Amino acid sequence: MRRLYGRDFVAVILAAGKGTRMMSDLPKVMQELLRKPMLWYLLDTFRKMDFHKRLVVTGHGHELLEKKFPYDKDDFIIQTEQLGTGHALQEAWPAIRDSGAQWLIVANGDTPLVSDQNLDKLISQMISAGADLGLLSLRLDHQSGYGRVVRDKAGRVRAVVEEKDYNPQLHGPSSAEVNSGIYIFRVSALAEVIFDLDANNEQKELYITQLISLANDRNMHVLGVSAGNCPELMGINTPAELVMQEEYLRSKIVDRMISQGVIIRNKDQVRIGPEVRIEAGADITGPCEIYGASFVGSGTRINSHCYIEDSSILDSEILSFSHIHKSDIKEQTSIGPFARLRPGTVMEKGSKAGNFVEIKNSSIGRYSKVNHLSYIGDTEMSQKVNIGAGTITCNYDGRNKHRTIIEQQVFIGSNTSLVAPVRIGERSMVGAGSTITRDVPEESLAIARTRQENLIQKNPLKKS
């Protein structure tokens, strides 16, 4: 069970970096893992742990972050000059102090996958030990790019030294223990040392790691909690590290769902976002991508090469090469192959959208069928309607969108154009090849096409 922390805890996420090694103009924390920005993961974790405040120190590209996270932007703190992680914490200090919290967690924005379990471990050991400052460390075979954790002979953490500043003659042989960028502070202890930072280092920046040395100098209790070889604590600084962490997360989500009763075939090619919910008894075959706040109910079968985002699917079959976005699919529905459901689509029980069908902002009634080669937009369709091949609803007049109403048990012949706004009355038929521009009464046959004429003429090329 997740522990909740409440008013005694505040979090600061350091998200001001440019991320030059990502070779992108985006702020680093806007880079995505399974269609979610890195910053989203940390905000979500601290929100679920019920931290009283979740402060975000932003800098480069802060306007993009504010637009992406409108509900959190009031807790954004702009670091106008990027003078180091220590300076970022100093910029956040007034908000930390005014929060009234006793404990502060600081997380680097480029370590998005830290779990609440590891945070719980750090917090509980910190409180049990009565420590003033603590950090999560990990052990890596290759430590390039990470600050080194320096311990004394008794095993106490004495310092964290950045890679560029590490001197084996001064600090001793480098161990495999490195800094994860996750810290915890007793707020009252932090107040004593936060403004004693200096820039006497290779980068000429204020490092948050110097707080460890300053705390030791004042005989504060510093605690280092090792998470071992823990992939979730690895930072993301390059495109290669980004895709590596995304693959770690993808595999973790897929394996968890399999353990909960979801059948996932060709699992290495299935990508499922962190908000997706899938019930036991669903059957998915990769390659397949499911993102956003999607829900897949028990009994649903999703075939290969499908893309699903922010949609709900109940006990239905999604055939190959279908694209579904912000749609609601009820029970016993069949979609595809090669179907596209755009935002606002509702497929009622027993309905069908067949091959090469596109539907947008429309409801397809119970047991109604749009079998193939059709476009249905801005339409309200009742039950047991049959739409013939090649049918389109002409919903846009160049300036405004209009709706088409198709009542129950209507039969629309192939290659028909329904020019909205228009209503087709129940139990009516529309002849194939018609262009319907006026309402069709109930139980009527509508035919709107010119009479066929066969003109017989001599073939000028035929010899007499």
Instruction: Answer whether 426's CB lies under 8 Å from 442's CB.
Output: yes
- Whole-angstrom distance, CA of residue 217 vs CA of residue 211: 10
- Whole-angstrom distance, CA of residue 174 vs CA of residue 176: 7
Q: What is the DSSP letter of 44?
A: H
Instruction: Answer whether 233's CB lies under 8 Å from 114's CB.
Output: yes
Output b/e per residue, 169-197; b: 16+ Cβ within 10 A.
Answer: eeeeeeeebbbbbbbbbbbebbeebbeeb
User: What's at 161, amino acid-wise?
Assistant: V
Residue 292 C-alpha from the chain's centroid? 5
Tokens for 64, please give them: 């993009």
Tokens for 452, please give them: 């066929």
Rg (CA), the chain: 30
User: Is 372 a residue of the active site?
Assistant: yes
Q: For residue 392, what are the β-bridge partners?
A: 375, 417
- Whole-angstrom distance, CA of residue 381 vs CA of residue 371: 14
Surface-to-core class of residue 460, CB atoms within 10 Å of its CB (0-12 exposed, 13-18 middle, 19+ buried) = exposed
Among 60, 62, 305, 372, the active-site one is 372
User: What's at 354, amino acid-wise?
Assistant: G
- Whole-angstrom distance, CA of residue 415 vs CA of residue 388: 7
Tokens for 61, please give them: 């590209």
- Whole-angstrom distance, CA of residue 191 vs CA of residue 185: 10
- Whole-angstrom distance, CA of residue 433 vs CA of residue 301: 36
Number of H helices, E strands in the chain: 8, 41
Backbone angles phi, psi at 346, to 5 degrees: -125, 120
Q: Which residues are catalytic?
A: 372
